Amino acid sequence: MIWIAMVIVALIAVVAIGYSISAQRRLQQHQRQYEALINVLRNEIQAMTSSSIGMGHRLMEIENKLNMTAEKQQELANRDPGVLAYNQAARLMEMGADVDDLVKNCGIGRPEAELMALLHKEVAAPEGDR
């Protein structure tokens, strides 16, 4: 009887050892898969970070060029006093000023103010009204 009990215990031990070895192999296989997946994800994150940094640099360059262009445009507009008067008149027209306001505030003649008002109406008119 003891002999049968020892055989059963030995069989249970062999099965437990076999199951442990099998579980350890599956665990190691899963670990390798997860490590490979982590490496893939790490590489993708690094690539996305690099491209984001590159896009940020390009965006800053474009912003600097835009700022320089706006400054040059403002310098050109301020260089000629006549152009400055017409720029001011155009801004006043956009805010709803009439011909008398343009003559009074911008120092341009009535015919020029009337022409600007006419041009402003043409530009402001919807496409269907032309």
Which pLDDT tens digits describe the chain residue by residue (130 residues)? 888 999 999 999 999 999 999 999 999 999 999 999 999 999 999 999 999 999 999 999 999 999 999 998 877 766 666 666 778 888 888 888 888 988 888 888 899 889 888 888 888 776 545 4
Alpha-carbon span 30 to 37, nearest angstrom:
10
**pLDDT digits 0-9 by tens, 107-123:** 888 998 898 888 888 88
Tell me how far apart the alpha carbons of residues 94 and 120 are, in angstroms, rounded to a whole number: 8
Calculate ∠ Cα 98-87-119, nearest 5°.
50
Q: Which letter does DSSP use for residue 80 in this model? A: S
Burial of 117 per CB tally in 10 Å (0-12, 13-18, 19+): middle
CB 117 within 8 A of CB 98: yes
Distance CA 47, CA 119 (A): 53
> Which tokens go with 90?
């155009």
